[in-house]
Chains A and B, each alone.
Chain A
């Protein structure tokens, strides 16, 4: 039946050509031009592992990296996604999702990494790491990935300031990251808890009298256990702006430390039994203060006197007061409210 075959051939040929045209139109790039993005990523060059919890997203100002993306094209960019990865440390971090970026619009995306505490505690010295930022949007053939290097600092390192040397004008500038010290006050850590409970067993710290008793028990407990004041060797200063700070459990293990280490230990032991404490910093020295719960008064104590065999707690009060008075007259001290710093995200984590 050649007569019936011819229309069939014509129809199927037309369908084929029509489908081919449809396929071409479907696969042809949309009227929107290829996305044109200007992308800049900045990574914190040195990351303090001791404060890793403060970078997990609770405080928007504390981030490991930020990416600034500008749509430099004429058309909107749709469904922009930005993700970060730190090889060997995190599988993923926060993911930024932006439904639309108008022509000329800029978006700022931040990386809030979630690290494992055990892994951070295992970093003893400066360790190189690499952050990979990946971004993609509608119209891109494949995601774009780029890597940036940075260093993870050892878990004992406290970077005291980020202000450049030539711009440090007053002593506060040298201690610009003062509140970071609160992360070393690990009052819930088992070794610290055990010692605190052992020394202050049966003391009720909700009264002024109880706090004084607890303070006395801790002071004489450490002094009689022959804790030593160890002045800072060169190795404590990792560079001009960072200082090695022992965790309380390390000071307990070494039975000694410098003024910062011993003040941090005192603070952790007292906070472990519910006493509110402060660290007072000045250039070259650190001291602890306690707050009496009823009177609300603050009492400075020179913690390093535990290293002097016959020094009494009264001596520690007098020395603490004397130093405090001197610094106060000059206006050269910073007061760190430990519990206040914790509530601001400076959570003890190691």
Chain B
């Protein structure tokens, strides 16, 4: 769930020599996959969506305690490791209030930030892209997604780790008709406020059909003015006559 760089997770660590009898003269050494220890990380993601589509993010990464005791100090020594992938987004206001905290005793890293406009308002529905997988369940307005992935990036200190991720998307109060759109790969819902605003197109009847009524009123004014002028002129002529 955590936004990660598109990595190449080709695990080619232990080299073996393979005598390949495809050519009488050539003995190309080949590389093969290895079997180094792969640690696990329990990741809990909370995405709290408000009524206008902004999202409060919280990522809690619970590392293997053995790994964290050995290498977790790197996160303290180089604190930018936890934040640098998000900094460019923060600088242009795409995310706000980025904070990273470390709990050495628990072997946990917690990241929090706010992302305005994370959910798109399509007028008749809210659409949330980029969740990665379809929901496993929806309970009391909370959408739960569980997935497993192998990551290799700043958060794993560049070694493969298996992430078991549980994401909870807390939808805004009043969210209804919650569904997963398989075509769009997005979570979709509606809110009464959105529907009301979308129905209320604003302005009076005259203002909503401004071009039509402007033409009608200008024509009426012109016609009545002509009639008025003609009537007044005829009266004056009769008096003179």
Contacts and interface: CB of A to CB of B under 8 A. Distances in A.
Interface in A295-350: 295, 297-301, 313-314, 317-318, 320-321, 324-325, 328, 331, 334-337, 340, 344
B141 interface: no
Nearest to B153: A172
B122 interface: yes
Given A172-B158, A295-B20, A313-B26, A13 B218 contact: no
Interface in A2-36: 2, 5, 8-9, 12-13, 15-16, 18-20, 22-23, 25-28, 30-32
Size range of the chain A interface in the assembly: 35 or more
A102 B20 contact: no
Contacts of A98: 120-121
Given A25-B206, A100-B123, A40 B93 contact: yes
Contact of B220 (A19, A172, A178, A298): A19
A314 B25 contact: yes
12 contacts: A5-B231, A12-B227, A22-B220, A31-B204, A68-B93, A105-B121, A107-B120, A212-B26, A216-B26, A321-B15, A328-B15, A335-B10
B73 interface: no
A297 B31 contact: yes
B198 interface: yes
A107 B20 CA distance: 58
Contacts of B92: 40, 42, 66, 68
A176 to B, nearest CB: 7
B218 A23 contact: yes
Contacts of B23: 209, 212-213, 216
B31 A300 contact: yes
B88 to A, nearest CB: 8
B20 A19 contact: no
Given A15-B220, A101-B121, A325 B15 contact: yes
B221 A337 contact: no
Contacts of B51: 102
Contacts of A19: 217-218, 220-221, 224
Nearest to A178: B8
A126 interface: no
Interface string B168-212: 000000000000000000000000011001100111101100100
Contacts of A28: 207
Contact of A334 (B8, B27, B121): B8
A28 B210 CA distance: 10
Interface in A47-89: 60, 66, 68, 70, 75-76, 78
B172 to A, nearest CB: 11
B12 A2 contact: no
Contacts of A105: 52-53, 117, 121
Contacts of B80: 167
B6 interface: yes
Contact of B20 (A176, A213, A292): A292
Contacts of A253: none
Nearest to A9: B231
Given A68-B116, A99-B198, 7 more contacts: A2-B238, A12-B227, A30-B203, A99-B121, A101-B121, A107-B120, A299-B29
